[in-house]
Amino acid sequence: MALEFKDATFDSDVKEGNGLTLVDFWAEWCGPCIALGPTIEALATDYEGKVNVGKLNVDQNPETAQKFGIRNIPTILLLKDGEIVERLVGAQPKQAFLDAINKHL
């Protein structure tokens, strides 16, 4: 199951030394975000124990979205030890996420 990231705990959730983290920036009113939900859940299951996979609702957690310059959703960031290593904007096929994750594992 995908994690739920929040402003208050985001930095500690993706801190240095925490390995690879995938963050889906989304909102409930965003159709492409909703459509991407099952893919994010599948990635969380597929990479359990290897990659931290989670979602951050931009309406409820605007600070983190602003910190990373999120202007469009869905935006998916891959962070390695807290640093952005990949940014995917818009609904993408699962293979795009698999390729991005495997490149940084």
What does DSSP say about strands 83-89 and 75-80: parallel, antiparallel, or unpaired?
Answer: antiparallel
Catalytic residue, chosen from 33, 40, 53, 78, is: 33
Kindly report the CATH class assigned to 3-90: alpha beta
pLDDT at 81: 84
Q: pLDDT tens-digit profile of 88-104?
A: 999 999 999 999 999 99
- Per DSSP, the three-state class of 78 is strand
Kindly state the DSSP code that residue 8 receives in the 8-state scheme: G
Q: Supply 78's token pair.
A: 């891959």
Catalytic residue, chosen from 20, 30, 51, 78, is: 30
10 is catalytic: no
- Say if pTM beats, i.e. exceeds, 0.75: yes
22 is catalytic: no
Query: What residues does each domain of the chain span?
Result: 3-90
